[in-house]
A and B are shown apart, each in its own frame.
Chain A
Amino acid sequence: AQSVTQLDSQVPVFEEAPVELRCNYSSSVSVYLFWYVQYPNQGLQLLLKYLSGSTLVKGINGFEAEFNKSQTSFHLRKPSVHISDTAEYFCAVSSALDYKLSFGAGTTVTVRA
């Protein structure tokens, strides 16, 4: 079974500043890793995913994440945030065997002017 820990429940950040959201996972088998974003009262939107290959993954809206197998981490970064990036962000992991997703508890990002 897999599990995910998002290390920060809330991240306040000023507009145009960089942001990093931390995610660690545990699994005994090969995994796929995902970041989703959720705006208030909406569903989840896929930001990016790591399946294999290059460990640096670029996603939508200027986000990127780096897979680090030795540290079992998949941290999400954006070099310059906008007010519109205010949302909740979820890290998720699935096994390469059955594709069932396990989610972290989420990180709420609040961008201030």
Chain B
Amino acid sequence: DGGITQSPKYLFRKEGQNVTLSCEQNLNHDAMYWYRQDPGQGLRLIYYSQIVNDFQKGDIAEGYSVSREKKESFPLTVTSAQKNPTAFYLCASSLGETQYFGPGTRLLVL
């Protein structure tokens, strides 16, 4: 069953803590993306990777980090430097121009 999986569905962060969101795809897509969604603001690009071992900053990369060691996986770390991390995080992948999205992770701050 091909697709994009994100885990966990809900994640709670304590102040000063780093947390990592998982994104895995078995679609054999080259490119992967992380977006942040806030109410009324659409989706904003955090980081993207077009090939293994390479990634670029998006529009709102401050306070976030990523790695792309495997084609199937693109984890996102929300660091303590991100002062307003509460949001819905969406991962996507593409082979060409069309992006397909995972189910999302909702991050909440305790």
Q: Which residues of A pack against B, CB within 8 Å?
A: 4, 9, 32, 34, 36, 41-46, 49, 51, 90, 94, 96, 99-101, 103-106
Contacts and interface: CB of A to CB of B under 8 A. Distances in A.
A42 B97 contact: no
B42 A42 contact: no
A101 B99 contact: yes
A105 B41 contact: yes
Question: What is the predominant secondary structure among interface residues of chain B facing chain A?
Answer: strand
Q: How large is the interface on B (under 10, 10 to 19, 20 to 34, 35 or more residues)?
A: 20 to 34
A41 B98 contact: no
Given A99-B31, A100-B45, A43 B97 contact: no
A46 B96 contact: no
B104 A43 contact: yes
A31 B27 CA distance: 25
Contact of B103 (A43, A49, A90): A43
B60 to A, nearest CB: 13
Interface of B: 4, 6, 31, 33, 40-45, 48, 58, 88, 90, 92, 94, 96-104, 106
Contact of A44 (B45, B48, B90, B96): B90
Residue of B43, B94, B96, B98 contacting most chain A CB atoms (<10 Å) = B43
Contacts of A103: 42-44
A41 B99 contact: no
Given A49-B98, A101-B45, 14 more contacts: A41-B88, A41-B104, A43-B103, A44-B92, A44-B101, A49-B97, A51-B97, A99-B94, A99-B97, A100-B48, A101-B99, A103-B42, A103-B44, A105-B40
